[in-house]
A and B are shown apart, each in its own frame.
Chain A
Amino acid sequence: MRGIFLNIHSTAKVMLVLMLGLAVSAHALEIESVYETEIFTSEEFAHKRATTVGLDIDRGTFDIAIGEASVECPEDNFPKFKVLRIGINSYWLPNSVDAEDKMYSATVIYTINCDVARTSSSK
């Protein structure tokens, strides 16, 4: 009898922890986003620009990322940003003749972590 009681008790505890976990995760939002830089004449320039942007994103000072977080999670004053990777794109523009004319941009892939569901009376 005591064993059954203990089992019920521990099951209830597990359920409670799971429910709390669900409740917490329902409030958090993670969005993966991409910022593409301007087009440059070399891969190196594109990468340099992406590195600067990436640092601003990580610091939470990049306007575009901040704005996106504000739209997705307007209730959260302090969303968090993390750069995942930087990619390089190459372009053959319409007037390109040979490989010398190739142009490059960089894409900065980052995540926004923010809180979506504060209390509704929070303004």
Chain B
Amino acid sequence: MLLSNKISVVSIISWMLLIVSHFIFVVPVSADTDRKAIMKYRQLWMEIKGQHNQAIRLLVKYQMAPNQLISHAETLAEMSDDMLFLFPPGSLGGGSRALPTIWDNNGKITRDFIMQTEIMRGESEKLVAIARAGNYKTIKKQLFTYASKACRGCHMRYRGED
């Protein structure tokens, strides 16, 4: 075999090994990185949502800044649309308290979980409307109803202890 032929055979084998190794090593690592990234993002998202709740609680307690209060309520309503994005299939374990019951056997989000996100949307929209009306007592009541039905309703069914 000529030297140039030998080189081309080695070159082809090298390329094939490179392509195969890409599928063996690179793809799974990338998927795992994506899963970890979305779980980290979900954690931040939940903390931010909790802080909006606490901000409303504080504004109601001191009966101040009604416009800020409306903004926080609107943000909570908008955030409820993110819920389905935050739970891609397999995004559990590794410190996450998400329970596998969020997904069905095919890895799709269950109808029940989707309904829970709809409750979140509905209760947060009620909170926006009540915040716009400006009665602090009813805002406080709706904030707690929202937190009970939307936040805790979901946590009790889809969040484990550890």
A residues contacting B by CB (< 8 A) are 63-72, 74, 77, 119-123
Give the CA-CA distance A68 to B60 in the complex, in Å. Answer: 13
Q: Check B132 for interface membership: any CB of A closer than 8 A.
A: no
Q: Would B144 and A68 count as touching, CB distance under 8 A?
A: yes
| Chain B residues with CB under 8 A of A64 | 141, 144-145, 148
Q: Check B84 for interface membership: any CB of A closer than 8 A.
A: no
Q: How far is the CB of B8 from chain A (nearest CB, A)?
A: 51
- Kindly identify which residue among B53, B95, B149 contacts A122, using a CB–CB cutoff of 8 Å: B95
Q: How far is the CB of B79 from chain A (nearest CB, A)?
A: 14
In the complex with contacts A68-B147, A71-B53, A119-B156 CB distance below 8 A? no
B residues contacting A by CB (< 8 A) are 39, 42-43, 46-47, 50, 53-54, 57, 95-98, 141, 143-149, 151-152, 155-156, 159, 161-162
Which of A65, A67, A69, A122 counts the most chain B CB atoms within 10 A?
A: A67
Give the CA-CA distance A68 to B54 in the complex, in Å. Answer: 10
Q: Would B43 and A121 count as touching, CB distance under 8 A?
A: yes
Interface of A is mostly: helix
Q: How far is the CB of B155 from chain A (nearest CB, A)?
A: 6
Give the CA-CA distance A113 to B104 in the complex, in Å. Answer: 35
In the complex with contacts A77-B161, A123-B43, A67-B143 CB distance below 8 A? yes
Give the CA-CA distance A74 to B52 in the complex, in Å. Answer: 12
| Chain A residues with CB under 8 A of B39 | 123
- Kindly identify which residue among B95, B96, B144 contacts A67, using a CB–CB cutoff of 8 Å: B144
Lowest 8 CB-CB distances: which A-B pairs, in order? A67-B144, A67-B148, A67-B147, A70-B147, A121-B95, A66-B148, A74-B50, A123-B43
